[in-house]
Chains A and B, each alone.
Chain A
Amino acid sequence: MKRILSFTLLFALFLTSVASASDIQLEVTVDRNKIALGEALQLNLTFQGTQNVSAPNIDKIEGFDARYLGPSTMVSIVNGVVTSSITHVYTLIPIKTGTFTLGPFSVEAQGKTLTSKPITIEVVSAPPGGQPYSRQQTQEEPSTTKINAEELKDRLFLILSAGKRRAYLNEIMPLTIKLYVNRLGVRDIQFPVLETNDFSIEKFGQPKQYREEFGGVLYDVIEFTTDMFAIKAGEFSLGPAKLKCNLVVRRQNQRSRSPFDDDFFGGFFKDDIFDDFFGRYEAYPLELKSAELPVTVLPLPQEGKPEGFDGALGNFQLEVEATPLQVKAGDPITLKMTVKGEGNFDSVKLPKLQSKDGFKVYDPQVKENESEKIFEQVLIPDSEKVTHIPQINFSFFNTRTGHYQVLTHEPIPITVARAEEAQPKLVELPQVQLKPAQKEELGRDIIYLKNSPGKFRRIGCYLYQSFGFWLFQILSFVLFIGIILFHLKQQKLITDERYARRLRAPTKAKKGLQEIGRLLREGKTEAFFDAVFKTIREYLADRFHLPCGGITVITIEEFAKEKGIASEVLDKIKKIFADCDMARYAPAQFGQKHLEDIFQSLKEIIDYLEKQKI
């Protein structure tokens, strides 16, 4: 029992709706209005606007055994408005079958007598195989495992309704689709679909959600509304509206609980709470269908149809405003025509000017707001003779009265001044621009003489025939070759040491000889011999690409044989070496004559070796 109580409290809390703070209201609801014997019915008495009402005594209800379960209170703050309510919850257990009426209940609260609507309950005998007490266990659950198709229809259904059953062609009528849900878990509700070729239905807006009592049972309602209008005349049946959603149902294979299980707490706590939320519920896709709705669409009557009727339907007013009222001819006047009211604004067309004489009329700019349509039209008076804007007519079919109606706006007086001089110029401009488009006829003749003779040149003399030109080319080429040869020689000097030494030898020898000559004239005998020895040794080393220290009489002799040097030259070399050796010990024994001979023979040796190709 405690469990039921707790669920009831929660549920009552959940159900309590927002009420006005000023008045106390009584609302009586049951959780179902068809019940089998042995099942329990929940009766809620909700007092809106107060919490200070004690539980009314409703012991004596025909056909039922009533038990008071307890109160549940609720305080809600919506947009800063505090509302409070108290719900007294009773359990009714039917005693016999039949149709019974609950209430009307009259309760005294705070000096007022509140009376509820009566509720009709049908009690049937228990379904075969039904488990009377199992209902008690499941009835408070948001979803159940045992819902048969019959019950489901009562607890989850779709109602299609239109604002009117009889409408004129193109007349706007509201369309409402309501989804009623009683204590069922429903999710993934999609927008309803209405398949029809006879009506133009706009998109559904955001659905409204509220609670509604229907046949004494409280339902959660999701209401989809939109507008529609018929596009054909005749008798149609609208719908059925279809809506797809998922029904959340407890899984069938749950552990069956014995109705006689007294171990209430054990049973309660044995259930894994997580299992409850994530494991035991399944979503079953459902497609709900509403009943069809017969709608009669009347054509617009032909009689009394005014001239210039454009098919506007509804109940409208016309407002006209023109600015400015004083203009010059050729200046624009803005005519603002506002059609207000209710009806199908898609069918509202531009109100008609009775005549357009004397005006240049441009296409209107159209703005559509909620319950008004604004046309802004530019009129340009042609001349100063125009005195007023003509009468404006707007005709529509009044769907309330079923008659045509013509709205007329009287001519608006305007003052048009003569246009200024500048205006014709504006008109002329495009003509001026047109002229260049014509093809220009150009004259054709030869261009006039040259004033200066330019550069004179000899007839038949070309540069390629001139000697100087070719000389220049040839000299360039010679120079080019010369530079290349020089470059190659430089390269050889760097890379080929033998060649470089061979090339260096005579230059060095020449310098040595000059030095020797000077020493000879000065009579410096010792220095003379040193220089002679140095010169000949270095020259021979460079000339034959030998190491300088390795130059001795013996190596020279061997080398001379190899290269075929004349023996007299070899003798001279030997003699010089020998003299140089001698001079180190007894330099005084050499006379001037002797020194000159040595110098001479050194020159001869170098000359000979330079000329010789070795």
Chain B
Amino acid sequence: MKAKNIYNIFILVVLFSALFLGAGFALNNHETSAFNRANVYYEQANYDEAIKQYNSILEGGWESGNLYYNLGNCYFKKGELGRAILNYEKARRLMPLDKDLESNYEYACSLIEGQAVAYKKSLPVRVLSNLFEKFTVDGLTILLSALYMLILMSILISLFFKSLKKHALLFSVFMGLFFIVGFAGLKGKISLLNKEAIVIAKAADAKFEPIDKATTYFTLYKGMKVEIISSKENWYKVRRQDNKNGWVENDTLIVF
């Protein structure tokens, strides 16, 4: 009976995994040819046309890390630092481990005007945020799912194999801790989706109130990243990286 059960579990796991893989697998012939066309335009320094081609893919509802990367390069060459950084940021969400991307992103950020603002976080927060930066949302989701499976498996092992009971339970407790931390990380990542924004105007004043005549608290420069807290009419309340909040007109930003 036991062997049969384990066999069944195996079959199920294989079936479902196949299902997920299949779901993500699609032939994007149309998109690929547009991508290649755009690259040719880029080589001819025809950045506007290249951007148009890349955007056509996005309009079709498809995205990829490399696509955003190339788009970022186009905007960078065109001199639109804000949109370049915006696309690099989008690419980072899809391929956070890409070295070329990291290099270009850092270079682009180094060109931002104004003083770099950084808020010193405590060590564990810094370590965790650095760790979670290396994951995409889907990657983290799969990791958590795997952890969840491991926990269930180790509990079952502790039931069926008495000699391994202690170890298996200890293991599951550890996995549980990892799961909780990972879950918090995933939740944080998801909460930032469509809540981050890049300044595309040359400079944007962050004001105390969502009114034109309100006092300016601080100024944001092209390429700076902010977090959207709330919105009102055509104003966004944003939080800078040093945790200072202010109201910014929504046409100076692009949310991603």
Contact = CB atoms under 8 A, between A and B. Distances in A.
- Chains A and B come from one and the same complex: yes
Interface of A: 444-459, 462-464, 466, 468-469, 472-473, 475-477, 479-480, 483-484, 486-487, 490
A67 B102 CA distance: 121
Contacts of B160: 487
B28 A456 contact: yes
Contact of B61 (A450, A459, A462, A476): A459
Interface string B210-249: 0000000000000000000000000000000000000000
A477 B69 contact: no
Contact of A468 (B20, B69, B152): B20
- Please give me the 8 A-B residue pairs with the lowest Cβ-Cβ distance, nearest first: A450-B66, A454-B66, A453-B35, A454-B64, A447-B100, A446-B104, A456-B62, A456-B28
Given A446-B108, A453-B32, A480-B152, A463 B64 contact: no
A450 B69 contact: yes
Contacts of B26: 456
A446 B35 CA distance: 19
23 contacts: A447-B104, A449-B39, A449-B69, A450-B69, A450-B70, A450-B100, A453-B31, A453-B32, A453-B35, A453-B64, A457-B63, A457-B94, A459-B63, A462-B190, A463-B20, A463-B141, A466-B23, A468-B19, A472-B19, A472-B20, A479-B12, A484-B156, A484-B159
Contacts of A450: 66, 69-70, 100
B16 interface: yes
A473 B5 contact: no
Interface of B: 1, 5, 8-9, 12, 16, 19-20, 23-24, 26, 28, 31-32, 35, 39, 42, 57-58, 61-67, 69-70, 73, 76-77, 94-95, 100, 103-104, 107-108, 137-138, 141-142, 145, 148-149, 152, 155-156, 159-160, 186, 190
Given A458-B63, A472-B16, 10 more contacts: A452-B35, A453-B28, A453-B35, A454-B64, A456-B31, A459-B62, A464-B190, A472-B19, A476-B149, A484-B156
A463 B12 contact: no
B19 A463 contact: no
Nearest to B105: A446
A325 to B, nearest CB: 66
Given A446-B76, A449-B39, A463-B142, A457 B107 contact: no
A463 B193 CA distance: 14
Contact of B67 (A454, A469, A480): A454
- Which among A453, A476, A487 has the highest number of chain B CB atoms within 10 Å? A453
Contacts of A444: 107
A480 B155 CA distance: 9
B20 A469 contact: yes
Contact of B137 (A448, A453, A458, A462): A462
B62 A469 contact: no
Given A446-B76, A466-B23, A457 B152 contact: no
B152 A477 contact: yes
Contacts of B186: 464
Contacts of A455: 24, 64
Contacts of B9: 479, 483
B141 A469 contact: yes
B159 A487 contact: yes
